Amino acid sequence: MALDNDRNRVLTSLRDRSRGVDCTALIQILGLDKIAVERHLLYCVDYALATWKRQRDGLGLATITDLGREYLGRQNL
Protein backbone atom coordinates (compact mmCIF):
# COMPACT_ATOMS: atom_id res chain seq x y z
CA MET A 1 0.00 0.00 0.00
CA ALA A 2 2.88 2.39 0.67
CA LEU A 3 3.84 2.33 -3.00
CA ASP A 4 0.37 3.44 -4.05
CA ASN A 5 0.30 6.14 -1.37
CA ASP A 6 3.70 7.48 -2.42
CA ARG A 7 2.71 7.37 -6.08
CA ASN A 8 -0.46 9.29 -5.26
CA ARG A 9 1.63 11.82 -3.32
CA VAL A 10 3.84 12.30 -6.39
CA LEU A 11 0.80 12.80 -8.63
CA THR A 12 -0.84 15.14 -6.15
CA SER A 13 2.33 17.23 -6.02
CA LEU A 14 2.33 17.42 -9.80
CA ARG A 15 -1.33 18.43 -9.82
CA ASP A 16 -0.71 21.16 -7.27
CA ARG A 17 2.03 22.67 -9.46
CA SER A 18 0.35 23.34 -12.78
CA ARG A 19 3.58 24.43 -14.47
CA GLY A 20 5.28 21.22 -13.50
CA VAL A 21 8.00 20.44 -11.03
CA ASP A 22 11.57 19.23 -11.22
CA CYS A 23 12.45 15.82 -9.81
CA THR A 24 14.82 17.44 -7.30
CA ALA A 25 12.00 19.58 -5.95
CA LEU A 26 9.76 16.51 -5.61
CA ILE A 27 12.46 14.80 -3.57
CA GLN A 28 12.53 17.75 -1.18
CA ILE A 29 8.75 18.25 -1.09
CA LEU A 30 7.89 14.60 -0.47
CA GLY A 31 10.87 13.56 1.62
CA LEU A 32 11.43 10.49 -0.55
CA ASP A 33 14.77 9.42 -1.97
CA LYS A 34 15.69 10.00 -5.60
CA ILE A 35 15.23 6.37 -6.60
CA ALA A 36 11.69 6.25 -5.19
CA VAL A 37 10.64 9.49 -6.89
CA GLU A 38 12.11 8.37 -10.22
CA ARG A 39 10.40 4.97 -9.93
CA HIS A 40 7.02 6.60 -9.30
CA LEU A 41 7.51 9.09 -12.10
CA LEU A 42 8.45 6.32 -14.53
CA TYR A 43 5.34 4.37 -13.54
CA CYS A 44 3.18 7.45 -14.07
CA VAL A 45 4.77 8.11 -17.46
CA ASP A 46 4.30 4.46 -18.52
CA TYR A 47 0.59 4.71 -17.74
CA ALA A 48 0.20 8.22 -19.23
CA LEU A 49 -0.60 9.75 -15.84
CA ALA A 50 2.28 12.21 -16.17
CA THR A 51 4.92 13.47 -18.56
CA TRP A 52 8.55 13.81 -17.60
CA LYS A 53 11.27 15.46 -19.65
CA ARG A 54 13.93 13.32 -18.02
CA GLN A 55 17.51 14.35 -18.41
CA ARG A 56 20.57 12.16 -18.21
CA ASP A 57 21.08 12.99 -14.52
CA GLY A 58 17.49 11.93 -13.71
CA LEU A 59 16.30 15.48 -13.34
CA GLY A 60 13.84 17.27 -15.58
CA LEU A 61 10.39 18.79 -15.48
CA ALA A 62 7.41 16.55 -14.73
CA THR A 63 3.75 17.46 -15.23
CA ILE A 64 0.48 15.68 -14.66
CA THR A 65 -1.71 14.73 -17.62
CA ASP A 66 -5.49 14.88 -17.89
CA LEU A 67 -5.55 11.12 -17.36
CA GLY A 68 -3.53 11.61 -14.18
CA ARG A 69 -6.06 14.18 -12.95
CA GLU A 70 -8.89 11.74 -13.69
CA TYR A 71 -7.01 9.00 -11.83
CA LEU A 72 -6.68 11.20 -8.74
CA GLY A 73 -10.35 12.08 -9.00
CA ARG A 74 -11.27 8.40 -9.00
CA GLN A 75 -9.09 8.01 -5.90
CA ASN A 76 -10.97 10.92 -4.28
CA LEU A 77 -7.75 12.92 -3.98
Q: What is the mean pLDDT of the chain?
A: 89
13, 21 Cβ separation under 8 angstroms: yes
Stronger pLDDT, 43 or 4, i.e. the higher one:
43
> How much is the pLDDT for 23?
87
Q: Which residues have a Cβ under 8 Å from the Cβ of 9 and sit 6 or more positions away?
A: 30, 32
pTM of the predicted model, to two decimals?
0.86
Tens digits of per-residue pLDDT, 24-54?
899 999 999 999 999 999 999 999 999 998 8
Enumerate domains of the chain plus CATH numbers. 2-74 (1.10.10.10)
